[in-house]
């Protein structure tokens, strides 16, 4: 090999960089997100499977409904009437009162931080 | 090869690569094969292949420096050199390192691209042509950004630089889920690179399936990724369970991840497996370009060809010593009596 020392060093650095996620994770167990579900309520405003993938779109729809159309009520798929509100409906005492135990549980797991909380606040939180 | 034939072959190849996971996962329920086995095989092929290629290159001798004539080489002290000459025609290690940095991070060679243009009358001129450079650099940085952002699926906790990049990439805060610009920029840039091949006759003439296929494959990857994130939606918590399982070597496949995820993953696996066998391996090769990574010091340092075998020499002195008597007898002049 010609210039073997330099090339092998470069190769090790390159492979090491690309394999970053492998050595960063070495020896760790697979974690799962474990959001705390409401104790009594059994049904969300949309079917669970839909909420898992599309809750951000539901929230977006709700937001538009209030701030663009002035419509503060929402009829759910199973015919129930809800007041459209992130803090007072989604995060009401019966449903998902604790942001830490619910929203953050998944979002921290994914490493994302929706910007909604720049303005909206959790119940009891002071800004 | 004719452009129609080339395009047809490579498009069919990409369509087949979409159909395989579609049938395999949707029809045959081979979730483990497409979620775990194939990604692992692809990653192994990628790493082994790259190492093999680089070691193979390292075995080829590069006996001489190849001074590219972009700048004035170091010579007599009174021949002026500017900083451009130091970078383009370096004689020191530092200069060479800087030339490599410019090449790899800024695509300097591509930036120097010129185009022959006909002016008025008989005159021709070489004007700078930067569109290829622009398309290429946008494409590569968008790809890198998308790739680094994907680390959110392979790390837990997600490192700060990935979170920061996500924030920067989504800084417009439009649409929910937030639009990440890099994905769309990637799609646009690679489409430009494809159209360029199709519409410029000279470039079309030198393009082969090996050129169209990677472009189409990357378009497919970007398209399925965007489709998944913004329209078809998959359960990301389950996806992350799968991806974390892969890098933590305890693979498992949660039920209920949409087939679009497996299609995206299969296209990506195909790219990784194809990488070492194709022109894409320039990612590693650029570091070994002899016209870029060797300092141009041929005038200052003697470079000996490594495959020179020791030549047996018979000097005139030795020859004369051997045949002096015979030479004298034949009346030939000799140097030493
Ligand atoms: C070279 C590699 C890859 C490219 C170019 C690519 C491209 C993309 C693009 C353009 C998107 C759209 C959204 C975004 O910009 O984040 C995306 C999303 C996605 N990709 Fe990839 N991808 C690659 C590798 C992978 C790998 C290895 C996986 C998993 C094993 C993966 C899983 C996903 C998932 C789950 C999404 C959806 C993200 C969401 O819904 O927020 N991708 N990809």
Residue pLDDT tens, chain B, 337 long: 789 999 999 999 999 999 999 999 999 999 999 999 999 999 999 999 999 999 999 998 888 888 777 888 888 889 998 988 888 889 889 999 999 999 999 999 999 888 888 777 778 888 888 999 999 999 999 999 999 999 999 998 999 999 999 999 999 988 889 999 999 999 999 999 999 999 999 999 999 999 999 999 999 999 999 999 999 999 999 999 999 999 999 999 999 999 999 999 999 999 999 999 999 999 999 999 988 999 888 888 888 887 888 888 999 999 999 999 999 999 999 988 7
The residue contributing the CA closest to ligand 1 atom 39 is B229
Strand partners, A81: A75
Confidence of residue A127 (pLDDT cuts 50, 70, 90): low
Nearest partner of B213 among B282, B146, B147, B280, judged by Cα: B280
- What is the separation, in whole angstroms, between the first and last Cα of chain B? 73
**CA–CA gap between residue B297 and residue B286 (Å, rounded):** 21
Q: What is the pTM of this model?
A: 0.91
Which CATH number is B89's domain given? Answer: 1.20.950.20
Strands B114-118 and B124-128: antiparallel
Residues 6+ apart with CB under 8 A from B86: B71, B95, B98
DSSP code per residue over B8-51:
HHHHHHHHHHHHHHIIIIIIT--HHIIIIIHHHHHHHHHHHHHH
Nearest partner of B21 among B37, B1, B5, judged by Cα: B37
Q: Which residue has the tokens 């015919």?
A: A79
Residue A124 lies in a domain: no
Contacts of A67 in chain B (CB under 8 A): none
Nearest partner of A32 among A106, A111, A113, A112, judged by Cα: A106
Provide the number of structural domains found in chain B.
1
B43-73 per-residue burial string, b: 16 or more CB within 10 A, e: under 16: bebbbebbbebbeebbeeebeebebbeebeb
Residue A75 lies in a domain: yes
Residue A11 lies in a domain: no
Cα(B54) to centroid(ligand 1), Å: 28
Average pLDDT over residues A116-120: 91
- What is the separation, in whole angstroms, between the first and last Cα of chain A? 64
**CA–CA gap between residue B198 and residue B196 (Å, rounded):** 5
- Domain range spanning residue B137? 3-311
Nearest CA-CA distance, residue B210 and chain A, Å = 24
Task: Say how many CA atoms lie within 13 Å of B41 toward its Cβ.
Answer: 10
Residue B226 lies in a domain: yes
Nearest partner of B110 among B131, B84, B88, B82, judged by Cα: B131
Residue B330 lies in a domain: no
pLDDT at B304: 83
- Mutation choice for B interface testing from A1, A26, A34, A109 by most B CBs within 10 A: A109
Query: Which of B167, B235, B240 comes nearest A109 by C-beta?
Result: B240
- Domain range spanning residue A67? 48-118
CB spacing of A11 vs B163 below 8 angstroms: no
Ligand 1 atom at shortest distance from the alpha carbon of B180: 15
Q: Helix (H, G, I), strand (E, B), or coil: what is residue B251?
A: coil
Ligand 1 atom at shortest distance from the alpha carbon of B146: 15
Residue of chain A minimizing CA distance to B305: A2
Give the model confidence (pLDDT) of A5-51 as tens digits: 999 999 999 999 999 999 999 888 888 899 999 988 889 999 999 99
Residue B44 lies in a domain: yes
Residue B142 lies in a domain: yes
Residue A55 lies in a domain: yes
pLDDT at A103: 94
Residue A30 lies in a domain: no
Q: E strand or H helix at B92, and its extent?
A: none
Ligand 1, residues at Cβ distance < 6 Å: B 143, 146-147, 149-150, 153, 180, 182-183, 186, 221-222, 225-226, 228-229, 236, 239, 243, 261, 264-265, 268, 271
Q: E strand or H helix at A55, and its extent?
A: helix A48-67
Ligand 1 atom at shortest distance from the alpha carbon of B149: 16
Nearest CA-CA distance, residue A110 and chain B, Å = 6
Nearest partner of B127 among B114, B137, B142, B145, judged by Cα: B114
Cα(B243) to centroid(ligand 1), Å: 11
Contacts of A65 in chain B (CB under 8 A): none
CB pairs under 8 A between A and B: 97
Provide the number of structural domains found in chain A.
1
Residue A52 lies in a domain: yes
A79 and chain B: CB distance < 8 Å anywhere? no
CB B74 within 8 A of CB B91: yes
Cα(A29) to centroid(ligand 1), Å: 23
Confidence of residue A125 (pLDDT cuts 50, 70, 90): low
DSSP code per residue over B264-331:
HHHHHHHHHHHGGGSGGGHHHHGGG-HHHHS---TTTSPPPPTTPPPPP---HHHHHHHHHHHHHHHT
Residue A8 lies in a domain: no
Structure tokens at A32: 């799962």
Strands A81-83 and B114-118: unpaired
């Amino acid at each position: 090999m010609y210039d073997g020392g330099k090339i092998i060093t470069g190769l090790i650095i390159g492979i090491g960089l690309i394999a970053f996620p492998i050595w960063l994770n070495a020896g760790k167990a697979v974690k799962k997100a474990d959001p705390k579900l409401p104790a009594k309520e059994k049904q969300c405003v949309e079917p669970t499977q839909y909420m898992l993938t599309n809750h951000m779109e539901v929230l977006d729809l709700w937001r538009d409904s209030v701030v663009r159309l002035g419509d503060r009520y929402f009829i759910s798929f199973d015919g129930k009437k809800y007041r459209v509100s992130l803090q007072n409906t989604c995060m009401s005492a019966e449903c998902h009162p604790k942001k830490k135990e619910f929203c953050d549980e998944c979002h921290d797991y994914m490493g994302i931080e929706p910007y909604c909380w720049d303005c909206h606040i959790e119940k009891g939180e002071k800004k | 090869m004719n452009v129609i034939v080339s395009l047809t072959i490579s498009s069919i190849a990409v369509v087949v690569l979409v159909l395989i996971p579609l049938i395999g996962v949707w029809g045959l329920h081979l979730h483990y094969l497409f979620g775990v086995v194939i990604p692992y095989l692809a990653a192994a092929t990628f790493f082994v292949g790259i190492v093999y290629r680089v070691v193979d290159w390292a075995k080829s001798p590069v006996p001489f420096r190849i001074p590219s004539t972009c700048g004035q080489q170091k010579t007599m002290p009174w021949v002026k050199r500017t900083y451009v000459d130091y970078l383009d025609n370096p004689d020191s290690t530092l200069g060479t390192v800087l030339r490599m940095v410019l090449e790899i991070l800024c695509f300097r060679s591509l930036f120097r691209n010129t185009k022959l243009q006909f002016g008025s009358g008989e005159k021709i001129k070489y004007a700078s042509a930067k569109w290829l450079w622009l398309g290429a650099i946008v494409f590569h940085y968008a790809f890198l950004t998308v790739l680094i952002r994907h680390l959110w699926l392979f790390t837990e906790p997600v490192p700060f630089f990935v979170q920061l990049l996500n924030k920067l990439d989504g800084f417009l805060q439009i649409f929910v889920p937030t639009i990440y610009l890099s994905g769309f920029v990637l799609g646009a840039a690679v489409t430009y690179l494809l159209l360029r091949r199709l519409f410029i006759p000279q470039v079309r003439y030198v393009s082969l399936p090996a050129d169209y296929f990677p472009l189409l494959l990357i378009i497919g990857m970007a398209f399925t990724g965007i489709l998944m994130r913004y329209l078809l939606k998959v359960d990301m918590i389950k996806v992350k369970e799968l991806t974390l399982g892969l890098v933590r070597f305890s693979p498992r496949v949660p039920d209920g991840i949409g087939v679009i995820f497996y299609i995206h993953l299969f296209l990506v696996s195909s790219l990784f497996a194809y990488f070492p066998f194709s022109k894409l391996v320039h990612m590693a090769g650029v570091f070994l370009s002899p016209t870029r990574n060797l300092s141009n010091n041929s005038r200052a340092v003697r470079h000996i060809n490594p495959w020179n075998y020791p030549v047996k020499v018979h000097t005139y002195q030795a020859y004369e010593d051997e045949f002096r008597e015979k030479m004298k007898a034949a009346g030939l002049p000799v140097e030493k009596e």
